[in-house]
Amino acid sequence: MNSPDTSKTQNFFGTSEAELKEIFSQWNVEAYRVHQVFTWVYHYHCRDFSEMSNISKSLRSQLAERFHFSLPKVQQRTHSKDGSIKYLMELNDGAVVECVWMPSESRKTLCLSTQVGCRLNCSFCLTASLGLKRNLTACEIIGQHIAINEELEEKDQITNVVFMGMGEPLDNYGPVVDALRLMISPEAMKVSTRKVTVSTSGLVEKMKAFQEENLHINLAISLNASDNVTRDRLMPINKKYPIEVLIDCLKKYPLKPQRRHTIEYVLLEGINDSDEDAQRLAKWLQGVPCKINLIPFNAFDSAEYRPPSDQRVLKFQNYLIEQNFSAFIRKNRATDILGACGQLATQVEVGTPR
C-alpha cells in the first residue's frame, strides 16, 4: 500500500461517485473510469492505485497523489455468548465509537454508529450521557462496515446494516446520506436497499428531507411511549415533534410496495408497559404501514429504569397481535458484553479519559 502524507491527501473512502466524476472531468479523464476505480476499491478490495492494471499509469499516479485509504481501527472486540461481537472502533483523532455484529441463520447484521455521542438526551440511553462530541464523516460511517468485513471470514460477511449505534443518524444528515449512497451503490458496496435500516428518534423535518433523497432505505422509528407526557420525559425531542406530528409524517411517507416502517418500542417497567399503553399505541398506529419491535429495556448500572417481567412483555405483544399488528419481541443482543446503545464506549470513556 502507498504511504502518502495523509494530512495532504483525501481519504478515498467516503468520496462519492459524483465527486470523483467531477475530479476526473477536471483531469479530462472519461467518466466511465470512475466505475473502474470503484470496482478495484470496493469489489476487489484493492488499496494501491499502482495495482489497478486497466487504468493508465498517469491516472494511477494522479490518484495516488490525490487520495489515500484510511479506515477506522478495531481497538477492541468482545465476543458475546450469543455469537455477537461488539467492536470498539478508533477513529483518526482517537475518538471511539461502537458497532455490533450480530449473526443469525439467515443474515449477518452490523449495527453501526453515526456520531460520537449524541445530543438528543433520551433518558433511557447511555450514549446520551456522553453528549455530542462530534459527527462522523461519510468515510468513517462506511469505514466501520469495510474494516469489520475485512476481518470477518467469507461466511460471516455482513449482509444487513442497521444505523442504530451511537448517535441520531438524521442529526448528522449530509454524511449519513453520502454514506448510504455509497453503501447501496452497485458501483461501490452494493448492499440492497431492503437490507439497510436507518433508525431515528423522529426528527420530522429531516425525515421529510430524507424521503426526497429517493434512497428507499427502511426507516425504524424509536417511539417508546404511547402518550406525549411520557415521551417528553423519555425523549425530549418529542417536545419539538410530538407523537401526532410524527405519526402524520409516517402516514404520508411514501413506501415501495411490500415495505413497512419499523416501530421500535423499548419497554420500561411501570413507565410505558401497561395495558392502556398497548391500547393507545395500537390506536396511534392504525393506518401506519408498520411492524412493531418490542424491546425489553437492557438495564445498565446508572439506569433509572428496569425491564418489565416476561409475562408483561408477552401480554403487551399479545394485545398488539390481537389488533392485527405484526409485533415481535426483540431480545437485546450481546447483553453479557454491554449490549445496550453506548455502553461499551462509555465504559472506555470512564476507563481512559481523553
| Side chain identity at residue 243, one-letter code | I
The distance of closest approach from Cβ of residue 116 to ligand SF4 in the complex, given in angstroms and rounded to an integer, is 11
Select from 127, 160, 172, 346 the one that contacts ligand SF4 (CB under 6 A): 127
Q: How would DSSP label each residue in 274-317?
A: SHHHHHHHHHHHTT--EEEEEEE----TT-S--PPPHHHHHHHH
Beta bridge partners of 261: 290
Cα(132)–Cα(167) distance, integer angstroms: 8
CA atoms of 220 and 292, how far apart (whole Å)? 9
The answer to whether 52 contacts ligand SF4 (rule: CB under 6 A) is: no
d(CA 71, CA 16): 16
Q: Residue from 20, 89, 97, 118 that binds ligand SF4 (CB under 6 A)? A: 118
Residue 199 Cβ vs ligand SF4, minimum distance, rounded to whole Å: 7
CA atoms 266, 315, 263, 287: torsion sign? negative
Q: Which stretch binds ligand SF4 (CB under 6 A): 7-15, 77-85, 122-130, 321-329?
A: 122-130
Rule CB under 6 A: choose which of 120, 146, 278, 320 binds ligand SF4: 120
Segments of 41-157 assigned E as strands: 67-68, 73-79, 85-90, 96-103, 108-111, 115-117, 132-135
Under 8 Å between Cβ of 2 and 63 = no
**Contact call for residue 125 and ligand SF4 (CB under 6 A):** yes
The CB-of-315 to ligand SF4 minimum distance in angstroms stands at 25
Q: Which is nearer to ligand SF4, 29 or 95 (CB)?
A: 95
Under rule CB under 6 A, which residues in 293-352 are in contact with ligand SF4?
341
Q: How far is CA 151 from the centre of its chain?
A: 20
DSSP class of residue 16 equals -
| Of residues 224 and 226, the one with the C-beta less far from ligand SF4 | 224
Question: Which residue type sits at 216?
Answer: H
Instruction: Give me the active site residues, please.
Output: 98, 341
Give the distance from CA 183 to its chain's centroid: 12
* CB of 259 vs ligand SF4, minimal distance in Å: 23
The residue within the footprint of ligand SF4, chosen from 137, 201, 262, 332 (CB under 6 A), is 201
Q: Angle between the 138-151 and 173-184 helix axes, to the nearest 10 degrees?
A: 40
Distance separating alpha carbons of residues 38 and 32, to the nearest angstrom: 10
- Judged by CB under 6 A, does residue 59 bind ligand SF4? no
The residue with cell 408497559 is 273
Q: Between residues 72 and 167, which has the closer beta carbon with respect to ligand SF4?
A: 167
Q: Closest distance between ligand SF4 and the C-beta of residue 240, in Å? A: 13
CB closer to ligand SF4 out of 188 and 198: 198
- Span from 75-83, 121-129, 274-282, 297-305 in contact with ligand SF4 (CB under 6 A): 121-129
Per-residue x/- track, 137-176, ligand SF4 (CB under 6 A) = -----------------------------xxx--------
Contacts to ligand SF4 by CB under 6 A: 118, 120-122, 125, 127-128, 166-168, 201, 341
